Structure formats: structure tokens, C-alpha cells
Chain A
Amino acid sequence: MKQRNLFLEILYAVLPAVSIACLLVLWMGVSGNRPDLIPTPAETWSRFADTFDKPIMRLSFFGHILASLRRVMTALLISWSAGILFGILIGWSRTGKSVFGSIFNMLRPIPPLAWIPLITIWFGIGETPKILIVVIGSIVPVIVNTQSGMERVEQLYLDVGTVFHANSRQLLFEIAVPSALPTILAGIKTSISTGWMVVLAAEMLGAKSGVGFLITRGMDSGDTALVLVAMIAIGIVGALLAVFISFVERMICPWLRKK
């Protein structure tokens, strides 16, 4: 019995490595036999190294990542500030909810990507439309979470405030908003990953810089290795963003640590 357990422990420890190895073998096997389907890992790596010698559209590889990150950050700052304000408005005031919440709920089912054609008719293809599309995509989780956080403030907390003669401004800013903070942060977290996804789509539809541009560039010039490099970079940046934000979350709300 004990031996069996030991065997299982070893198996469990080795399996992740086995699965990654399987993936690599599969990749090498397919790319070796059918190079038209996917470039080999070696090709992908050398393509990655090449991007530093030969900049694409006068930007290095990291330059493109930075260009995308800058768009996302600009858009996120807008959607956080606007989204939290709007969320407080429709989550705190019944009148606000009735008047503006209904409009918001009517527009919400329209996916952010479906706005792209209309936005490009309005603003052409510069920086503004891309940022605006990312704002449209990333503001929704912020608004939804802020609203639900504000609506679910413990009545008890508010009653305590009332007992101590807090005025309505104090009730809002000293009780309701702080107690909704964890929910708002969860919305901010979602908005970051949504933003990162939407910026990609916006860039794929016409841009001269950014990771989405790299993908379209690779697709148009038949440079699959570049596509793969860009995909991997997008994945890594996305994962890093997720790690970074959970770190920040733990700094701001230490009480949220995983049970």
C-alpha cells in the first residue's frame, strides 16, 4: 500500500513534465512532417531572435508590446474612472439606476467587437478609435461589479452610520464605497484581461504597431513563425498581467487572501 502511494506521488510529480514534453514532441512532429501547418520550435525561436535585428515598422519586438500596453493602460484608466463613477451612480441611487441603468442594460448585450465598424466610421483608424474600443470592452465589468458591490452593502453598516448621524455623503464615501471595494477590484481585474483581448482585435483590424499588428503582419506575409511568436508573447504578457494584478490585489486588500 505504501509503495503504491509512493508510486502515485512520483507519477503526480512527473506528469506535468510529461504533458509539456508531449506537447513539444507533437509540435516538433507535426512541424517536421508538415512545415506548411506550423513552423518548428527552432524556426520560431530564430524568428523571435530576428525581431531584434530587423525591427518591424521601425519598432522592436518589445516596442510593439509596449505600444499595445500603452493603449490598454490609457483605455483602462478611462474605463476605471468612468466605470466606477457610473457604477456608483446606478448602484447607489434608485433614480440613477432607473434612468441610466436601463440604457446601460440595453446596450450591454452588444459585444465590444461589434462596435468596431461603427467606431472606425466615426473616428477613422488612428489611436482614438482603438482606445475607445478597449474602453467599451473593459468598462462593462467595472460598471457591473461596482453596481452590484454598491447594491449589496450590508444594511447593518448603513444603519450604524445613520445612528451616528452620518450625512448621506459620509454614508456613501465612508461606508458604502469602502465596503464595495473588493467587488470593484474584482471588476477591475476582469477589465484588465478583457482589455488585453480587445486591444488585440482592435489592432488586427488596422494598426501600424502593437502585438495585434504583428499577427496580421505575419498572416499577410505568410510568416507563420512571426504569428506564433506574437501569440506566445500575447499569452505571456496576459499571464504576467494576471499575476501582477493578483499581487496588487493582495497588497490593497490583504483580507482577500485565498482561503
Chain B
Amino acid sequence: MDKKTKKNKFADGSTKYALLSVLGIAGFFVIWQLLVVSGIINSKYLAAPTDIIKLFFVKIAETAPDGNTLQVNVFSSLRVSLLGLFTALILGIPLGWLMGWYRWVDRFVTPLFEIIRPIPPISWIPLTILWLGIGLKAQAFIIFFSAFIPCVINSYTGIKQTSPVLINVAKTFGATNFTIFIKVGIPSSLPITFAGIRVALGNSWSTLVAAEMLASSAGLGYMILMGRAFARPDIIVLGMLVIGVIGAIMTALLEFAEKKIVKWGGRTR
């Protein structure tokens, strides 16, 4: 009943609303363009959308002012953030599962985890420099921290919520604790674990700028910092847009993967 009314509401004027969305976004860009072109906002502070589109094509071939073409920056950022993210997934998710399943792991690791958890990843930057120097490893380490925490929390919560009915069924059929952990616990934790991966992905991409403040020589975060240094708002805005678009694409890819892998999402609560 509830759904039906909702659906009707949608069907009513869906074309009208789609049109309004387009108008909203178009209006946003038109006002932006007008503000800059008319000089209400000085071009020292903001570049017009058309200039940014032009710059996009120029930047593919040119290295000024930060010393890299756009592709090189994108590639470098992706490398750093994916390295950090995957390390966090590989270490964090199994750790969360073990913590959620085996009580002694929980009792041992949780206090340490609770100490580290409230410290924001960015504040690790100085220590990271001492430990790992400056470079790919140090940047990936900062990103690792930002992604590690949601991975652990969600896989922990996910496996903790395994339905006791499922566990008891497995026990009745004589499965060992480890088998139940692998065959029941982990699969039933996946929907919540994936939500954690989504948060981790978002965190890893948004910590990028902070990580690339660490004396990197390429990357999108580096590019917008250089844009600031050279007072080039067009470079900054282009960088922001590219970061936003890539972030959105990665989120969409992950959602696609989640749909392929977790087919039982609805049924395990």
C-alpha cells in the first residue's frame, strides 16, 4: 500500500521533476558563468565553467603549473589511495571478523583499537614522516588509517549480528566453530561489511588531499595545492571536479560489485 502510493506519486510528474533537476543543475552553471563573466566575482577568485572545460583539454597535454599532466596526477592519486585502501581492506576486514567471532581476540584487540580509533588519520602525518619518510608509503599509510577503522567496525558489527538460528543449524549438522565462522559468519556479515567498505572508500578518497600535502610531487591533491600556491582558481576547481567525479565513479563501481557479490542482502536482516 505504502509503496503503491509512493510509486503513483513518482509517476505523476516524473518528467516534470527530471526536467526540474536538469534546470537546477543548468541554472547553477549558468549563474556561476554569469557571475564570473560579468565580473561580480573577480576571476582571481573563481574561474568560469567554460574556462574550466577548456583547461581540462589543455591540461591533458600541458604540465604547467604543477609539473604534471592531468592523467599523471589522476594515476598517481589513484595509486596512493588504492594502495592505502586495499591494505586497509586486507588487514581490517579479517581483523574485524576475528574480533567479532573469537572472544579472546575481541578482548585483546578492542582496547588497542579503541585507543587508536578516536585519533583522526590526519594527525598521524608528523609521526608518519618520522617513520616512513615522505613518499608513496607515507601517503598510503595516512590513507590506510582513514580506511582501516570503518572496515574493522563494520565487519565486527556484521559478524556479531549473525543470526543464532543459522549458527545453531550449522552446529546441529556437526560443523566445527571454524567452519561455522567461514561458512556462516562471514557470508552473513557481508552486507554490513560492504557498507564499511563504502565508508572506507569515501574516507580514503577524501583523505587524499591531506595525504598529498605530504611533499608529494604529483596527484590531484598536489595539483590543487599548487593551484593555491600559484593563485590559479581554475586549476583548483578543475582538480576538485576531477576528484569529485572519480570519487562518484568509484562509489558506483563498488555498489555494482556489491550487488554482484551479495545476493542475499535482504534476507539476513
Contact = CB atoms under 8 A, between A and B. Distances in A.
Q: Do A and B belong to a common assembly?
A: yes
B109 to A, nearest CB: 7
B108 A200 contact: no
A94 B28 CA distance: 18
B36 interface: no
7 tightest A-B CB contacts, nearest first: A111-B206, A117-B228, A98-B20, A15-B107, A99-B24, A219-B126, A238-B118
Interface of B: 1-2, 5-6, 9, 13, 17-18, 20-25, 27-28, 44-45, 103-104, 107-112, 115, 118-120, 122-127, 129-131, 205-210, 213, 221, 224-225, 227-228, 231, 233, 236-237, 239-241, 243-245, 247-248, 251
A103 interface: yes
Interface string A116-136: 111011100000000000000
Contact of B122 (A114, A204, A218): A204
Contact of A234 (B22, B120, B129): B120
Contacts of A232: 119
A196 interface: yes
B71 to A, nearest CB: 19
A152 B167 CA distance: 33
Contacts of A99: 20-21, 23-24, 27
A25 interface: no
Nearest to A232: B119
Given A110-B240, A238-B118, A38 B25 contact: no
A23 B116 CA distance: 11
A236 interface: yes
B110 A16 contact: yes
A164 interface: no
Interface string A148-181: 0000001110000000000000000000000000
A253 interface: no
Given A114-B206, A114-B243, A20 B111 contact: yes
Contact of A235 (B17, B119, B208, B231): B119
Interface in A5-27: 11-12, 15-16, 18-20, 23
A120 B9 CA distance: 44
